[in-house]
Amino acid sequence: MDALIFIVRTILQVLLVTVFLLRVLFPLVRADSRNQLSQAVIRLTNPLVLPLRRILPPVRKVDTASIVALLIVQTAATATLWLLGAYPWVYNPAQFTVEVLRNLAGTVLQFYTFAMFLLILLSWVAPGTYSPAAALLSSICEPLLRPVRRVIPAVAGLDLSALFLIIALQALYILVR
């Protein structure tokens, strides 16, 4: 049963929820919508987002339909895992809502940790080269890195801001879980 919960959690939580999270993040960080990866995320999420957009118009830069779609997908993922027995301590709607929000916060924190790690890895392996993935990673991570860089300057030419940000993200993840 644990293996089934792991597989379902990976497919629903890590893959599906992350795609909808990207749909929410791309407009907020002004990611290039012509990027191939951005286009793939848009195509994958359109079946749920477009019908919601007819009901929920965007508010300034915030795409409310994408946020509601993300919450729907996260709720469905948590409900599926609950039915499989992954959350035996959830007995009422309030606990379920808290678990949905905890899972979403955990996914966001893990996503940003992984994105920072990939950005660091790409800066070591292929510094200065262009790739669609590197451009998206940079646009997603830069809003978090910018304030950290103001506090922690480069030491001997090394930018350690991403490392400190990963440590902070992991500390927040421990608090959420």
- Give tens-digit pLDDT for 44-56: 999 999 999 999 9
State the pTM of this model.
0.90
Cα-trace Rg, the chain: 18
Per-residue pLDDT tens for 110-152? 999 999 999 888 888 877 777 888 889 999 999 999 999 999 8
Model confidence at 41, pLDDT cuts 50, 70, 90, reads very high
Question: From residue 159, how far is each of 134, 136, 145, 151, 166 by CA, in Å?
Answer: 17, 19, 10, 12, 13
Distance (Å, whole) CA 144 – CA 23 = 18
Instruction: Give the domain extent around 8.
Output: 2-176
If one counts the domains in the chain, the total is 1
